[in-house]
A and B are shown apart, each in its own frame.
Chain A
């Protein structure tokens, strides 16, 4: 499990670093050499999607989405476990449907040959990434749901506000 978390963290960190560097280099090249980075906008969009979809499985696994702690539950009690597991299962359903749709989009893009205008990359590549990350999110959410009922003292790692 830790290796998966490490790989996903690396993926998220690298994607955000690329995003920052691409925007910086693009501005620098435009202002200093009057020549913006080729396909800068498309790389920005791709790295943003990579960062977000790479983070979703990690957030699902850690129950790390933003939630509001308005009603106090007994820590580790059954009500809290049911609610946490319910949130994880709903996450799995939504991302399962998203994976299905990404698969449909991917097939459509592969058949039509739809490409990024500057990178020349087929859009099916993006949809395949969304598909893979959505499936990983489903697995992460289901693992989190199971862990809610199996661990003795559930950890509260969510970004509660």
Chain B
């Protein structure tokens, strides 16, 4: 147990010192294995981990979904989504902030990354909000919170990673994420309404437009509906596997990017290369995490943990609450995919032994990771938005994000108390 704690401490220390996450995890895992088993077995495990982390057929979903999201984002669909949501919601007080949430949710339906959603939406939603006099603390926080929907509304990169790690059904996970994602949109809008009610000066009234113009704007977002329908429809009707759906989605996005005429071939090529590099970074984290977890397995941390839980007298609900708290705390200092990769192999067997559903637990972990994405001091989405918008004060963002974190905690409580909300759709479809 002590070696496992030391491994966690060592990896966290290296990560906080800005070592690449993949290299920190692989380095600590390799060192631990070497100290316990010697050079040849640890080196053999390194080779096997590298191979399984880059050549697993089910992993091909990752680069394909990354490519699909990047191509569609590059073709400027996010601007159309925000424009359409803005026209429908602008007559409401705080309507532009609400539009950024709805547009982020819609963008999440074609992009599986939270950071990409936040970065893309910040470029299209923040300038108009600033133009109409919205306070930075509301506008930036709503885009940051909306960005988290990218990993919950399918397709989702982090769900793929969870599915691969736990051998869960990707399609069921995607289906399970939809209702919590919609609940997230509703609760974020409630948070905006609360902020605007408390401080009306944060969101000046914007002139509304007619219904004709509103419905007219929907014609520009057909690619999102088509791609989402193709990818998710294909998975849910059993026509495609997740990998096949991702391939179809990426190819469809490529065709859309070419015919949208908003991107040159050179720009498309740059997007493809960038998508390859981002995917390779994710594979590297998978590789590092599998070395780290190999070492943790060797320490027998699972049996220690199970004994600890049995001896502590914690009820299953108490265990789940403890896990949620651990994820929220870890999420403040760790990147979500690596956090999932190093914790799920340890916690998953414990949760399943307690009789919980793996799909439900996956959604719980993703929502908890979402909270980490907007919780200071790291709150990756906050930093992403700050880096793309000049003169944005971090303090304003930290204060502005509080209502959104609060509704996220309400949402995770709802999901924990009512598992049926998560399991209803996957049970209906599969």
Binding site for B on A (CB under 8 A): 9, 12-13, 15-17, 19-24, 26-27, 31, 41, 44-46, 48-49, 51-56, 58-59, 63-71, 73, 80, 83-84, 86-87, 90-91, 93-94, 97-98, 100-102, 104-105, 126, 130, 158-161
Q: Is B256 an interface residue (CB 8 A)?
A: no
A93, B50: Cα distance in complex, Å: 14
Q: Report the tally of A-B residue pairs with Cβ distances under 8 A.
A: 186
Name, among B55, B67, B251, B254, the residue most crowded by chain A CB atoms within 10 Å (CB to CB): B55
Query: What B residues does A22 contact at CB under 8 A?
Result: 247
Query: What B residues does A13 contact at CB under 8 A?
Result: 269, 272-273, 276
A101 touches B23 (CB 8 A): no
Q: How large is the interface on B (under 10, 10 to 19, 20 to 34, 35 or more residues)?
A: 35 or more
Q: Is B383 an interface residue (CB 8 A)?
A: yes
Query: What B residues does A159 contact at CB under 8 A?
Result: 278, 281
Partner of A67, one of B21, B278, B383: B21
Binding site for A on B (CB under 8 A): 15-24, 26-27, 30, 43-44, 46-47, 50-51, 54-57, 59-60, 63-64, 67, 115, 239-240, 243-244, 246-248, 250-251, 254, 269, 272-273, 275-285, 333-335, 338, 377-378, 380, 383-384
A101 touches B43 (CB 8 A): yes
B341 to chain A, nearest CB (A): 12
> Could you jot down 19 A-B contacts, CB within 8 Å?
A12-B276, A16-B279, A17-B272, A19-B247, A21-B251, A41-B57, A54-B276, A55-B280, A56-B284, A67-B18, A68-B335, A70-B377, A70-B378, A86-B17, A87-B18, A87-B23, A91-B23, A94-B26, A104-B44
A66 touches B285 (CB 8 A): yes
A94 touches B383 (CB 8 A): no
Interface of A is mostly: helix
Closest to B27 in A: A90
Interface of B is mostly: helix
Closest to A10 in B: B273
A104, B50: Cα distance in complex, Å: 14
Query: What B residues does A59 contact at CB under 8 A?
Result: 277, 280-281, 284
